[in-house]
Amino acid sequence: MKITDLKCAVIGGSPVVRLVTDEGIDGWGQVETPKPYLAPVVMMLKPALIGQDPTNVERVMRRIRNRGGFKPWGSGVSAVEMALWDLAGKAAGLPVHKLLGGKVRDRVRTYRTFYHAPDITHSPDDYVTWARAAKEMPEKFTMFKLPTSFHSSMVTQVPEYFYGDVLVSEPYYHYAHRGLMTERGMNHLVACIEAAKEELGPEYGLALDCGPGWLQPDALRFARAVEHLHLLWIEDMITGDYVPFTNADVYREVTANTTTPIHTGEQIYLRQNFKSLIEGHAVNIVGPDPCDVGGIAELKWVAEYADLHGILIAPHGTGNGIFGLAALVQVCATLPDNYIAFEFPARFEPWWYDITEGFVNSPVHDGHIAVGDRPGMGVEFIVDKASAYLSEEDQDFFF
């Protein structure tokens, strides 16, 4: 089999990759939903792919792996890797998890990052409201992640939250605030988290997405202040979302001195960039995203290496779309016992279920997704329905 074309269309804000072959089967991959600007980055890979046999996944990856970087620049390489596995699976008539060594679980746990309703403020009372709404979700998730502190508008809503300047105009970067917290800010944050966890109760796991933006003394002070709450983890305090480095030594200062699990890794590209975090025991949990780390085989390698070092894994995935969801299910079915749960890609419109086959509506039941046995990744476009969502310039995407 040979790759004859690479196409990329932006559908619902999400660059979707189509690898076309001379045997009439297609491979699908997807870049995170809020990143339509990456379509040209995907297309830059085309000359390296034409004429290659997609079933030799690693051989093809060696041609393009140097064309990525930390989030968002590894997205194109990662989406193509998923499309290669999709083709390899379809060519073999097997689900991708079989090609990765087979599934070790028949259903995978997924957690839900639950965003605040627009009228919710960062107060203890509203965090109780947040927790109540989370528990009422029909998918019956068992774990939730709460965006808070420097990873939320708490920084701008709570007066004198930290000692740095609050940017009033549109910041140049999502997480532009960073600095030492005030005692008042710290006490307010702890009160909010206590309120949310008390409402959730011990039946539900709670993780916090917190940064980046913290300085090390505050990060440790906060992790210790919430030790009694049995949190799943605190994510990305020191470095994280869109930060092009890891600062493993600073993380280790926090992780080694608290019982609250510390998590990072969603922005990291390639296994090599997890080396100092894992070998240095700088965090308790890593969170690579298959759409950013370099693909699903890369994520599996990170999971295995983490397990050797007593480190857990909870993959990131909030913007990964329906093809990213399929990839997460396939790879997470194969991970060792250090696997906790992956982040459900909640940020896509329900019409994606109508223009594809593979998942029927939301596939989450009791906080888990069953691992399917369709060939490849298991999701296929219904072309006559999906065509309605193509923009003017992408009209030839399916042809």
Return the range that interacts with Mg ion (CB under 5 A); candidates 32-40, 160-168, 201-209, 329-337. 201-209
Helices (H), 269-387: 275-279, 296-308, 321-332, 352-355, 383-386
Identify the sign of the CA torsion 3, 95, 68, 292: positive
Nearer to Mg ion, 209 or 298 (CB): 209
Rounded least distance, CB 30 to Mg ion, Å: 19
Here the tokens at position 299 are 């994520």
Report if residue 209 touches Mg ion, rule: CB under 5 A.
Answer: yes
Would you give the binding string for Mg ion spanning residues 230-259, x where CB under 5 A is met? ------------------------------
What lies within 8 Å, CB to CB, of 264 at 6+ separation is: 235, 236, 237, 238, 239, 240, 246, 251, 277, 283, 286, 287
Rounded least distance, CB 285 to Mg ion, Å: 12
Return the range that interacts with Mg ion (CB under 5 A); candidates 59-67, 128-136, 168-176, 202-210. 202-210
For residue 230, CA distances in Å to 26, 217, 343 come to: 45, 21, 19
Return the range that interacts with Mg ion (CB under 5 A); candidates 209-217, 220-228, 366-374, 384-392. 209-217
Give the chain's length: 399
Q: What is the DSSP letter of 27?
A: E
The Cβ of residue 370 has, within 10 Å, a number of other Cβ atoms equal to 13
Please name the helix (run of DSSP H) or strand (run of DSSP E) that holds residue 89, with its range, or none.
helix 75-92
Rounded least distance, CB 209 to Mg ion, Å: 4
Phi, psi angles (nearest 5°) of residue 103 = -80, 140
Nearer to Mg ion, 26 or 209 (CB): 209
Nearer to Mg ion, 81 or 289 (CB): 289
Return the range that interacts with Mg ion (CB under 5 A); candidates 122-130, 208-216, 378-386, 389-397. 208-216
Residues 149-188 that bind Mg ion (CB under 5 A): none
Rounded least distance, CB 42 to Mg ion, Å: 23
Here the tokens at position 149 are 């502190």
Return the range that interacts with Mg ion (CB under 5 A); candidates 131-139, 196-204, 207-215, 320-328. 207-215
Return the range that interacts with Mg ion (CB under 5 A); candidates 13-21, 179-187, 204-212, 218-226. 204-212
Nearer to Mg ion, 181 or 208 (CB): 208
Rounded least distance, CB 236 to Mg ion, Å: 5
SS3 readout for 124-148 = HHHHHHHHHHHHCCCCCCCEEEEEC
Rounded least distance, CB 149 to Mg ion, Å: 12
Cα–Cα distance measured from residue 69 to residue 82, given in angstroms and rounded to the nearest whole number: 17
Residues 258-277 that bind Mg ion (CB under 5 A): none
Rounded least distance, CB 211 to Mg ion, Å: 8
For residue 233, list its beta bridge partners. Answer: 207
Return the range that interacts with Mg ion (CB under 5 A); candidates 16-24, 174-182, 206-214, 249-257. 206-214
Nearer to Mg ion, 32 or 209 (CB): 209
Nearer to Mg ion, 199 or 209 (CB): 209
Rounded least distance, CB 291 to Mg ion, Å: 13
Nearer to Mg ion, 264 or 334 (CB): 264
If binding means CB under 5 A, how many residues of this protein chain bind Mg ion? 1
Cα–Cα distance measured from residue 126 to residue 218, given in angstroms and rounded to the nearest whole number: 24
Residue nearest to Mg ion (CB): 209
Report if residue 343 touches Mg ion, rule: CB under 5 A.
Answer: no
Rounded least distance, CB 210 to Mg ion, Å: 9
The Cβ of residue 276 has, within 10 Å, a number of other Cβ atoms equal to 15
* HSE-up of residue 114 (Cα within 13 Å, Cβ side): 28
Please name the helix (run of DSSP H) or strand (run of DSSP E) that holds residue 28, with its range, or none.
strand 26-30
205-209 and 143-147 strand pairing? parallel
Report if residue 199 touches Mg ion, rule: CB under 5 A.
Answer: no
Question: Footprint of Mg ion on this chain (CB under 5 A)?
Answer: 209
